[in-house]
Amino acid sequence: MGPRAALLIGVALAVLAVLALGAISSDVPAAPRPLRMAPLGQDRRPTTAGTIFLGNLESQLGWVQKEVEREPDSVHAQRMLASLLATRGKYRGDIEQIQEALDAVDTCLEIEPNNADLWLERAGHAQALHRFAEARDDVEHAVALGARGRNVDDLVQELDWNDGNYVAAIASIRDARSSFAALARVAQLEHDLGNMEAADRAFEAAEDRMADVSPLPLAWLYVERGRHELDRGETARAVAFLREAVARAPGYIPAEEHLAEALNGLGHTDEAIARYRNIVERSPDPEFMGALAALLREAGNTKEADRLAARARAGYEELLRRWPEAMYWHAAEFFLGEGKDPKRALALLEKNIAVRPNGESWAALARAQRANGDERAARFSMDMARATPIAFAYDQ
């Protein structure tokens, strides 16, 4: 990480450039119609049943794995395998599957090193593991091989976002106007900028635009809408969106985890604990063990809470060994809470800011510095967060 003064100047210049852009028009113009403020049911936005989707996913994976065993040099089969593994990994909350997807693309690149699309696919998986510098190198390699278009732009905009280069990222997000994914990204942007009604309209525009019968994209959108509602304090509304996400995609770990969180926020602790127990049985992610431990401790079950916290600690240590960049922030949140090791949290977030120097990372670092009694450093880090246009980086 460079000198603080230089970084502060860089952030200040970025903010001035954002202001110079003026009021960049929203992709979703204010509409006269009232907002729905509720998820669409299966009758109005039909998707394939979640059980059928999962059955098809597992069947496809089984078939493709056999094809790869039969023809390990088949780039087509390896690419299909990578895509399916990544989908299952995101569904299950299993980072191992994302790594396996990346490994499959690496195998393809050994066979076709000049395939620009493969470099873009690799960049996507590397970015999912928070290997941002590696992902940017992959994108640049793909561009050198002739890659152009929205796939490149989307990858670069997210890399810019994580680097804190908000001028370029915001302009790129605003520029992609038509697809389901583009509208959903605008909704996330409006949320982060603190424009709540604009975010609502963008979420509903994305919902209306979706034509895919797969339940996963819609479930993902409802999870993002649920998180949006949680952040603005509309917990009951968040529960409605998250319940619909779980109904569309049963077993979808992000939906189930955020639903448990929202239910606890409404005071439905018993249901939240039951849901977290179910998640812990199916997902290896220690984040959920830590969350369950915290709820059990509040309920007075300290023995089980201690056991779960110990399991979570061991799980994070292993994940930090294998995927440090992806775990810096998540593990730090655990160590600030159930892990009861604020010094470790601070050390992890100092590493996180080096690989992901954006507003949210600065705010997280400030919280850890404050927990360690370093108020001066916390004020500096929070000033860095507030120097960005991302309202929710520091207002939570």
* pLDDT tier for residue 27 given thresholds of 50, 70 and 90: low
User: Could you give phi then psi for residue 340, rounded to 5 degrees?
Assistant: 50, 50
> What's the mean pLDDT when you consider all of the chain?
91
Calculate mean pLDDT across residues 116-141: 98
pLDDT confidence of residue 28: 57
Return the exposure string of 311-327: e unless at least 16 CB atoms fall within 10 Å of the residue's CB, then b. bbbebbeebbeebbbbb
* Phi-psi region at 164: left, alpha or beta (left = phi > 0; alpha = psi -120 to 50): left
pLDDT confidence of residue 391: 74
CA distance 64 to 88: 14
Q: What is the DSSP letter of 27?
A: S
Give which of 336, 332, 367, 338 is closest to 351, Cα–Cα.
Answer: 332
Strand extents, DSSP E, the chain: none
pLDDT confidence of residue 25: 43
CA angle 297, 252, 260 (to 5 degrees): 25
Return the exposure string of 217-238: e unless at least 16 CB atoms fall within 10 Å of the residue's CB, then b. bbbbbbbbbbbbbbbbebbebb
Please tell me the least confidently modeled range out of 19-23, 84-88, 196-200, 282-286: 19-23
Which comes out higher in pLDDT, residue 26 or 201?
201
In contact, 282 and 292? CB cutoff 8 Å: no
pLDDT confidence of residue 33: 77
Does the fold of domain 285-396 match that of domain 177-267? Answer: yes
Task: Assign 377 to helix, strand or coil.
Answer: helix
Say which residue the tokens 């394939």 belong to.
Answer: 48
Calculate mean pLDDT across residues 275-287: 94
pLDDT confidence of residue 3: 41
Amino acid identity at 222: Y
Quote the pTM value. 0.88
In contact, 325 and 359? CB cutoff 8 Å: no
Calculate mean pLDDT across residues 255-260: 98
- What are the residue ranges spanned by the domains of the chain? 177-267, 285-396
In contact, 311 and 263? CB cutoff 8 Å: no
Domain 177-267, classified CATH 1.25.40.10, yes or no:
yes
**Count of all residues that appear for the chain in the document:** 396
Give which of 287, 281, 378 is closest to 339, Cα–Cα.
Answer: 287
* pLDDT tier for residue 32 given thresholds of 50, 70 and 90: low
pLDDT above 90 (res 17): no
CA angle 242, 247, 251 (to 5 degrees): 90
Q: What percent of the chain has pLDDT over 90?
A: 88
In contact, 269 and 296? CB cutoff 8 Å: no
pLDDT above 60 (res 6): no
pLDDT confidence of residue 19: 33
- Note the CATH number of domain 285-396: 1.25.40.10
Amino acid identity at 64: V
37 burial via Cβ count (<10 Å: 0-12, 13-18, 19+): middle
* pLDDT tier for residue 7 given thresholds of 50, 70 and 90: very low
pLDDT confidence of residue 375: 97
pLDDT above 90 (res 9): no
Calculate mean pLDDT across residues 195-211: 95
pLDDT confidence of residue 176: 81
* pLDDT tier for residue 177 given thresholds of 50, 70 and 90: confident
Calculate mean pLDDT across residues 173-190: 92
